[in-house]
Chains A and B, each alone.
Chain A
């Protein structure tokens, strides 16, 4: 361990699939998902937990996967945007709303936006546009396509009620 690396075996339930991988204890959840488990929808943006591109749900709670260690999540259920698809691989109502409202431009922020939105829908609160924007402040869209994203979430929460 001359380079300080100490491997840790971690088992996570990723989008309903049980995955065990051994990786350095310093490896973030984001790198573990992308490099070890081939789950590529969470994106690396800032590495500081600021941009939201890596947002996933850890046991139902939103987290920046770039500032959580995979080893900290041992045994947890991880949901990424791909996990929102239904059993037939069809998009969820939220994903359909993003599609219908053209809420993805370049698409880089979209997986994180979807998971932030999913956390909003899951807590059962119906939010105003301002409240949706407030919740989204930790997710940056560098195409600045926020109007369409807010439209989509507003629509999806209406449909979910």
Chain B
């Protein structure tokens, strides 16, 4: 752990951080919780002139409810998202996903915005956001724009953020009446990145799926929403999911030290079915 030295700048606002990013001309990165950035620095995967520490910025932290949405500050920590009463009651899928990130140490420091901006294709939170149809508010200090989660996450560790932009807020639709949710993952050990993860939402009427959303992580360069599978389960009851869902097309998994591409394809279907079945069960229970 003999890292190449870099500078440290603490800022008091996101606007100040955006200024710092512009001045650094690409040499600086934003340090939020640091639970991904600092391991990358320790491993020599990044070469930076400086980090801009936003972890003491208060303006982008906390959860509020706003007419069908939760507004969550980008600097809200995983542990806070996991335990927040608004999140656990209004969008329990997100609370569950946040509780699966790393260990209790990582959840105590790591931030929602940090994980999303890091955009690991196997991470739980980008997957949850794409399944939920979240939007992100990003700012360059002067102007703010809104980006859909499925457009923000571009590829491996690559997002739609411009060099001088930061994630400020996440807007997550709340779970509507009649809906249930499911989240399934397989990882080597608890707290590891998922090999494959699945997030599902289902709305039932008379025990049959009327509407559904299914997204998978770990099977492509970014989390994928699976519209074809969603269409194929319309009208199905929970016990019919196995027969309705065939091999999932359009995945592009890699073979690495955790799993082969074929294993990932297998897990994609198994976990997709289980997540949808869990969602059906919870929708039944809520009815």
Name A's B-contacting residues (CB within 8 A): 3-6, 8, 24-26, 28, 30-31, 44, 47-49, 52, 55, 61-64, 66-69, 71-72, 74, 116, 119, 134-135, 137-138
Name B's A-contacting residues (CB within 8 A): 1, 3-10, 31, 34-35, 38-39, 41-43, 49-51, 53, 55, 102-106, 108-109, 189-191
A49 CB contact (under 8 Å) in B8, B9, B105: B105
A-side contacts of B49, CB under 8 Å: 4
Task: Give CA–CA (A71, B49) in the complex, Å.
Answer: 16
Q: Which residue of chain A has its CB nearest to the CB of B38?
A: A67
Structural contact, A52 and B103, CB atoms closer than 8 A: yes
Give, as a whole number of angstroms, the nearest-CB distance from B6 to chain A.
5
Task: Give CA–CA (A23, B186) in the complex, Å.
Answer: 41
A-side contacts of B189, CB under 8 Å: 137
B-side contacts of A138, CB under 8 Å: 102-106, 191
10 A–B contact pairs at CB < 8 A? A25-B8, A26-B41, A28-B1, A28-B38, A48-B42, A52-B103, A62-B108, A69-B8, A74-B10, A138-B106
A-side contacts of B106, CB under 8 Å: 49, 64, 138
Apart from A62-B108, A66-B42, A138-B106, list 8 A-B contacts with CB within 8 A: A26-B4, A47-B39, A62-B105, A71-B8, A72-B10, A72-B53, A137-B189, A138-B191
Structural contact, B43 and A48, CB atoms closer than 8 A: yes
B-side contacts of A67, CB under 8 Å: 34-35, 38-39, 42
Give, as a whole number of angstroms, the nearest-CB distance from A110 to chain B.
17
Structural contact, B35 and A49, CB atoms closer than 8 A: yes
Task: Give CA–CA (A94, B106) in the complex, Å.
Answer: 23
Q: Which residue of chain B has its CB nearest to the CB of A135?
A: B104
Structural contact, B108 and A69, CB atoms closer than 8 A: no
**Given contacts A31-B1, A49-B105, is CB(A71)–CB(B39) below 8 Å?**
no
B-side contacts of A44, CB under 8 Å: 1
Q: Which residue of chain A has its CB nearest to the CB of B42?
A: A47
A63 CB contact (under 8 Å) in B41, B50, B53, B108: B108
Structural contact, B1 and A4, CB atoms closer than 8 A: no
Q: Which residue of chain A has its CB nearest to the CB of B79?
A: A61
Structural contact, A69 and B103, CB atoms closer than 8 A: no
Task: Give CA–CA (A44, B31) in the complex, Å.
Answer: 22
**Given contacts A4-B49, A25-B6, is CB(A68)–CB(B108) below 8 Å?**
no
Q: Which residue of chain A has its CB nearest to the CB of B56?
A: A72
Give, as a whole number of angstroms, the nearest-CB distance from B233 to chain A.
33
Structural contact, A62 and B6, CB atoms closer than 8 A: no
Structural contact, A6 and B8, CB atoms closer than 8 A: yes
Give, as a whole number of angstroms, the nearest-CB distance from A16 to chain B.
22
Q: Which residue of chain B has its CB nearest to the CB of A10?
A: B8
Looking at B43, B50, B103, the one whose CB has the most chain A CB atoms below 10 A away is B103
Task: Give CA–CA (A48, B106) in the complex, Å.
Answer: 11
Looking at A52, A55, A67, A71, the one whose CB has the most chain B CB atoms below 10 A away is A67
Structural contact, A69 and B53, CB atoms closer than 8 A: yes
